[in-house]
Amino acid sequence: MQVHEAVEGFLLDCQVRGLSERTIEWYRQKLSYLADWLQEQKVVSLERVTTLHLRTFVQQVQQTDAHANNPKKPTLSGRKVSAFTLKGYTQTMKTLFRWCVAEGLLEKDPSARLARPKLPRYLIPTLSVEQIEALMGACDSTTAIGFRDQLILLLLLDTGVRVSELCGLKLRDVHEDYIVVTGKGSKQREIGISPILSKYLWKYVRLYRKPVDSAQQQLLLSYRGLPLAVETVDDILAEIRSRAGLNGVRVSPHVFRHTFARTYLAKGGDVYKLSRLMGHTGVEVTQIYLKDVQAAEARQGQADLSPLESLDIGKRKRGHWRGFQGKKSREAGD
């Protein structure tokens, strides 16, 4: 069997298993690049793929400009793909070849000894109260579109849903104090909502939601009355951020998801309950947020406990000990 055929078979199986369109497209983009590259190396048959081929491909990806293989984003010349992108390619290849072995297309998995790249530890970005208020204020709630945009912000912030789950919400999924979300693998879960969000949902459905087709069940609609797409939500958030003047601040559905999780934990929420609310496959994923919250708590009050607080910096006579003020004076040319 050819590599391209195996990829198409794998993607077909993903559809049968009910994976989201976004996930399938994520697989397709990366695996098509792999299949094309292997064909350039004269490796057409699936049985001829070796671990060395896959390692060489990873090295090829590592040297590629960021977004070079993403048709939806402009290529960033001079900036290479991130470690997270590299991990995505490695993970995708391992998933494909494990599937090939399970389906009897291969006897051995050539990706079994392919090492996953190490990821840097970084703090997950979140939004401050001031930034959230600026975003809300950038929406004109007296108009149908402005009210819908505020509702999108509140839904993301109050529930922590993924953008695909947000766009997938139906009218029947909205209840007085909770919503029903369909997540990965078509698994459903209930998420409680605040009275404020409940009021916004009630008002939006009765006053501002104007579908082209009265039979349309999708909750969030475009200004034309059509179902809201995932890409459209990204564009909406980018426009709101621009109007709010939050240049340099990342505003995306995933940032709202992180903000929801960290706020929940910072206020004493249980990490196991949060894992269920967010639709994580295991609590290990959710504990990443817990570590960030603990790091933030550890630095609170640090200034009051600093050794510098016991020093009379700036209070000593000039010439006895210059300290920080002396440094400042020298820099000022004193």
CATH code, domain with 64: 1.10.150
Q: Are residues 225 and 271 in the same domain?
A: yes
Q: What is the pLDDT of residues 240-299, one digit of tens each?
A: 999 999 988 999 999 999 898 888 888 888 888 888 888 887 776 676 766 666 665 555
pLDDT, residue 177, reads 92
Statement: residue 307 has pLDDT above 60: no
Distance between CA atoms of 234 and 164, rounded to whole angstroms?
A: 11
Distance between CA atoms of 161 and 258, rounded to whole angstroms?
A: 10
13 inside domain: yes
Q: Are residues 176 and 233 in the same domain?
A: yes
- Mean pLDDT computed over 190-210: 94
314 inside domain: no
Identify which of 89-93, 185-189, 306-310 has the greatest average pLDDT. Answer: 89-93
Distance between CA atoms of 257 and 279, rounded to whole angstroms?
A: 12
Q: Are residues 143 and 95 in the same domain?
A: no
87 inside domain: yes
Residue 267's CATH number: 1.10.443.10
Q: Look at 34-38, 178-182, 191-195, 306-310 and tell me which has the smallest mean pLDDT.
A: 306-310
174 inside domain: yes
Q: Are residues 27 and 95 in the same domain?
A: yes
pLDDT band, very low/low/confident/very high, at 330 (cuts 50, 70, 90): very low
Q: Regarding predicted confidence, which is higher, 195 or 317? A: 195
- Radius of gyration over every alpha carbon of the chain, rounded to an integer in angstroms: 25
Question: Domain range spanning residue 263?
Answer: 129-299
Q: How many domains does the chain have?
A: 2
Task: Report the chain's mean pLDDT, rounded to a whole number.
Answer: 83
Q: Are residues 9 and 77 in the same domain?
A: yes
How many Cα atoms within 13 Å fall on the side-chain side of residue 38? 26
Q: Are residues 274 and 196 in the same domain?
A: yes
Give the Å distances, CA to CA, from 305 to 223, 298, 301, 302, 308: 54, 12, 7, 5, 8
Q: Which tokens go with 192?
A: 């409680």
